[in-house]
Amino acid sequence: MPNTKLLLAAALLAACKGEQAPAAAADTPAATSTAAGNTTGTPTYGYTVVATLPHDPAAFTEGLFIKDGKLYEGTGIEGKSEIRRSDLATGAVELRRALPAEYFGEGISAVGDRLYQLTWKHGKAFVYDLKTFAPVDTFSYYGQGWGMTTDGTSLYMTDSTSRIRVIDPKTFTVTRTIDVHDGTSPVSMVNELEWYKGELLANVWQSWQIARIDPKTGNITGWIDLTGILAPADKNGAEDVLNGIAYDAQSDKLYVTGKNFSKLYQITLTKR
């Protein structure tokens, strides 16, 4: 989604409407958070940081996933948007492809041998060969493009509202929608997505919360509070906004990062 500082006022109105050098080794700080209680009765989870890995602080992260041990990332900002494949341990970029300068890149995901990339306001999705990043197709959609993930069969897409679209990757047609809610209250600004053990994890923009969403009902079954994960010394004053969730199913490891963060955090969840 957009640059926070330039577009915060617009975002609030919308809400009312509806290569860093490789690290020698990962460090394992004892950073642990226990979340404050919430008023909805929905379970809240804290986190423990078990490892930190390098992340390019120039990357305005919009999409993130891990496949075959490699980190795939989509970045935003017109003239700077791209997709990239990196070494997970070192952060070294192995392959990248830039979007045309007029596009603001958003969420990414992969189904089979194809990588999909949303754009913010152009209503256009780009499709690439996963191995080479060669363009293979484009699709059109209505509204904004924000986050995206897959369950291996369908794509899931957010658009700044409380609604998630479930999309056929072959035609990019919407097969159904999911209305995200916590109890009886809709939750909007649902952003970057990740498929995690049969549920959806979703950043909520401008918060340090990740929602655990039942993909069948849209009900939020838990909140993950990542308050404090970005240490004051690691803030760069540019964005400092949480955005980026990646689950490596092969190793059963969960990672999070944010826009212009210099670190990728491997975390485990803790119950409050």
**243 forms bridges with which residues in the sheet?**
none
CA quadruple 257, 263, 266, 269: dihedral positive or negative?
negative
Q: Tokens for 104?
A: 């603001």
Residue pair 161/18 in contact (Cβ under 8 Å)? The answer is: yes
What average pLDDT does the segment 19-37 reach? 35
Could you tell me the pTM of the whole model? 0.86
Residue 271: pLDDT over 50: yes
What confidence tens digit (pLDDT) does each residue in 163-218 have? 999 999 999 999 999 999 999 899 999 999 999 999 999 999 989 999 999 999 99
Cβ-count burial 76-98 (b if 16+ within 10 Å, e if not): bbeeebbbbbbebbbbebeeebe
Q: How far, in Å, are 21, 128, 148, 195 from residue 183 at the CA level?
A: 45, 39, 24, 21
Q: Is 172 helix (H, G, I), strand (E, B) or coil?
A: coil
pLDDT at 8 over 60: no
In the DSSP assignment, the letter for residue 36 is P
Burial-class residue 148 by CB neighbours within 10 Å (0-12, 13-18, 19+). Answer: buried
Spatial distance between the Cα atoms of 133 and 124, rounded to a whole number of angstroms: 17
- The rounded percent of the chain whose pLDDT value lies above 70 is 85
Give one DSSP letter per residue of 209-265, joined into a string. Answer: EEEEE-TTT-BEEEEEE-TT-S-GGG--SS--EEEEEEEETTTTEEEEEEET-SEEE
Sign of CA dihedral 184, 46, 63, 212: negative
Query: Within the chain, where are the H helices?
Result: 4-16
pLDDT at 49 over 70: yes
Average pLDDT (248-258) is: 96
**Average pLDDT of span 61-68:** 96
Residue percentage of the chain with pLDDT more than 90: 78
State the Cα–Cα distance between residues 13 and 141, nearest whole angstrom: 23
CA separation for the pair 219, 127 (Å, rounded): 30
Number of compact structural domains in the chain: 1
Domain that holds residue 10: 4-271
CA–CA gap between residue 101 and residue 113 (Å, rounded): 26
Q: How confident is the model at residue 240 (pLDDT cuts 50, 70, 90)?
A: confident
Are the C-beta atoms of 53 and 23 separated by less than 8 Å?
Answer: yes
For residue 40, what pLDDT is reported?
A: 61
pLDDT at residue 26 above 80?
no
Q: Residue 236: its pLDDT value, please? A: 76
CATH number, domain with residue 160 = 2.40.128.630
